[in-house]
Structure 1
Amino acid sequence: MDRQTGGEADWPGRGALYDLAGCLRFYSRLPVPQLPGEPDPHRSPDFTTLPRMLPLAGLILALPAALILAAAWWIGLGPFLAATLAVTVMVVATGALHEDGLADVADGFGGGTTRERRLEIMRDSRIGAFGGAALVLALALRIGALATLLDRTGHAAATALLLAAAVSRLAALAPMVLLPPARPGGLSASVGRPNRASLTVALGICLVVALFAVPLGLPVHGVALMILFAGLAALALTRLARRKIGGQTGDVIGACQQVSEIAALLALVAAVAD
């Protein structure tokens, strides 16, 4: 009998499944029940191992949006409405968690003149002009990219949405891996940092998703560009965070996911240009 699971027998993949459930709870509003033998589901997440399942969690979170995108296109709503509905579903599923991070980072980095002032602005729950503009532009870019992909690739745009969701969540780990916490007492400092094994598993899952995206309608060079540009966008924001606040926060990680997803979708749009 396994003491750590309250008497439940151990079974292969148990830890990975617990981490997947933890990812879905932490990064979304989905009602994820406690799994058999799982420790307290409301405990603080352990980011030494949890991120290994982030790409798969992103895939699951994007699946309803991808289905809505394909269905709306199939019934003739047109690319703009179909893309808008899909992005709406994504925002609802995640509780606008990453969008909130993007807005806070835009306000802090754009409105603060010192490191301390930037962190203070980022902690403020109110949205300023920089944050509002960032949200509008980010939503417009995501909707526009998906609408363009629908025009050029048809239902393969749903595959692109799934791949972008997985890749961008892996890319969003860049600040956590490369930068120290900007606030020693903040949440990002308390949850730990991904270990090498966790990152290797996450990368492997992303590569498997990318391989499956090709027979589902995406060109090989387009998939490669999505991964490349998502990574470059994450590294660029990581470098900016180092310069502006000397580290990373949860908001920086959320913003990193947004810019990486946008970069991935735009890269594919360029790859399938007429």
Structure 2
Amino acid sequence: MLAGPAWPHSTPPDHGPDMTLDRIAQDLFSALRFYSRLPTPAPADAAELWAAPDMDRIAYAIPLAGAVMGLLGGAVLVLAAWAGLPEFLCATLAFTILVLASGAMHEDGLADTADGWGGGRDAEHRLMIMRDSRLGTFGVTALILSLLLRIGAVMALMAAFSPIQAAFALVAACAASRATGILMLRALPSARKDGASATFGQPSHKAALSCALMAAFIAALLLVPLFGLAAAVSGLALCIAVIYMMAGISRRMLGGQTGDVAGATQQISEIAFLLAVLILA
């Protein structure tokens, strides 16, 4: 039986003044700079442009960044449908924009995790495979299935409801699934002494909570009026289930988590969220 994640408690550091619109905008831009390739205003301190973001500070803004990217995909979905393109092409174009906007960051994590978990002999060997930039059979298969499942879910939402409703579901899925990556980093210690996950460290309890609450707020705001409370709750519940599942497997396979595992968790959560909305709406 898979063990669930451990949630250690810590006192988060003080990150300065109370929240303001300027602070929210700065944190959103910082999250977008890290999680996407979208152009953003340059920070006041030029060094911040290339520095690793403070995850404890921007954690709440990560679902917002996911929603921004989801809006791009949703807008393409609606425009393609308005142009009369078939549902398959509409959904495929939407995810093409999402992959371009994110630089395939999470897809890369999914492929590396699938290769490591599927082909490694032990934890050390799996971590070595995950660090290799070359793709194997497990990684390619995982990418194909991930894209097919997400495209198929959005197509089904378009057919069952409307392109606009499908677009809102996509935005909510992008926001909620981005939060699961941060919660995965919180759930387990880093499996490596170096790498992105070890560099950022585990987010504080307060940061993880703020990220989860923002994701839940965005999902409820977008889904409850269009699909009902059950769809929103089930989508979020499945995201939580994915975190526990991935944390249990990652603990057994690697002895902790990595940035790749966080990316894989986001991908699987996005699929689960979309399927939950489709089934429960």
TM-fit CA distance, 1:38: 7.6
The amino acid of 2:83's aligned partner reads: I
Show the 5 A alignment for 1:143-222.
Answer: 143-154=151-162, 155-214=164-223, 216-222=225-231
Query: Which of 24, 32, 43 is equivalent to 1:24?
Result: 32
The amino acid of 2:107's aligned partner reads: E
Q: Contact conserved, 2:173 with 2:219, CA < 8 A, in 1?
A: no
Q: Where in structure 1 are there 5+ consecutive unaligned residues?
A: 1-9
CA deviation profile, 1:221-263 (whole Å, cap 9, x unmatched)? 1111111111111221111111100111110111010000001
Change over 3 Å in CA distance of 1:210–1:38 after alignment to 2: farther
1:203 & 1:179 partners in 2: Cα distance?
Answer: 16
The amino acid of 1:156's aligned partner reads: Q
TM-fit CA distance, 1:74: 2.3
1:216 & 1:38 partners in 2: Cα distance?
Answer: 42
2:56 aligns with 48
2:93 & 2:52 partners in 1: Cα distance?
Answer: 33
The amino acid of 1:189's aligned partner reads: A
* Aligned: 1:84 with 2:100: no
Show the 5 A alignment for 1:89-100.
Answer: 89-100=97-108
* Aligned: 1:115 with 2:84: no
TM-fit CA distance, 1:211: 2.9
- Structure 1: which 4+ aligned runs deviate by more than 4 Å? 36-39
The alignment's C-alpha RMSD in Å is 1.9
CA deviation profile, 1:172-219 (whole Å, cap 9, x unmatched)? 223211111111122211112222322232233223212321465222
> What secondary structure sits across from 2:270 in the alignment?
helix
Q: Contact conserved, 2:216 with 2:236, CA < 8 A, in 1?
A: no
1:12 & 1:38 partners in 2: Cα distance?
Answer: 22
1:11 & 1:26 partners in 2: Cα distance?
Answer: 21
1:235 & 1:215 partners in 2: Cα distance?
Answer: 25
* Aligned: 1:133 with 2:144: no
2:83 aligns with 75
> What secondary structure sits across from 2:226 in the alignment?
coil
* Aligned: 1:237 with 2:251: no
- Which has the bigger relative contact order, CA under 8 A and spacing at least 6? 2
Q: Contact conserved, 1:156 with 1:216, CA < 8 A, in 2?
A: no
Change over 3 Å in CA distance of 1:73–1:123 after alignment to 2: same
Q: Which is further off, 231-240 or 259-268?
A: 231-240
The amino acid of 2:37's aligned partner reads: R
Change over 3 Å in CA distance of 1:75–1:23 after alignment to 2: same
Q: Which is further off, 161-170 or 38-47?
A: 38-47
1:70 & 1:11 partners in 2: Cα distance?
Answer: 34
1:253 & 1:214 partners in 2: Cα distance?
Answer: 25
Q: Contact conserved, 1:109 with 1:244, CA < 8 A, in 2?
A: yes
Normalising by structure 1, we get a TM-score of 0.91
TM-fit CA distance, 1:33: 2.3
Query: Which of 98, 102, 105 is equivalent to 2:110?
Result: 102
Q: Which is further off, 35-44 or 56-65?
A: 35-44
Q: Where in structure 2 are there 5+ consecutive unaligned residues?
A: 1-17
1:210 & 1:240 partners in 2: Cα distance?
Answer: 27
TM-fit CA distance, 1:158: 0.5
> What secondary structure sits across from 1:185 in the alignment?
coil
2:49 & 2:67 partners in 1: Cα distance?
Answer: 21
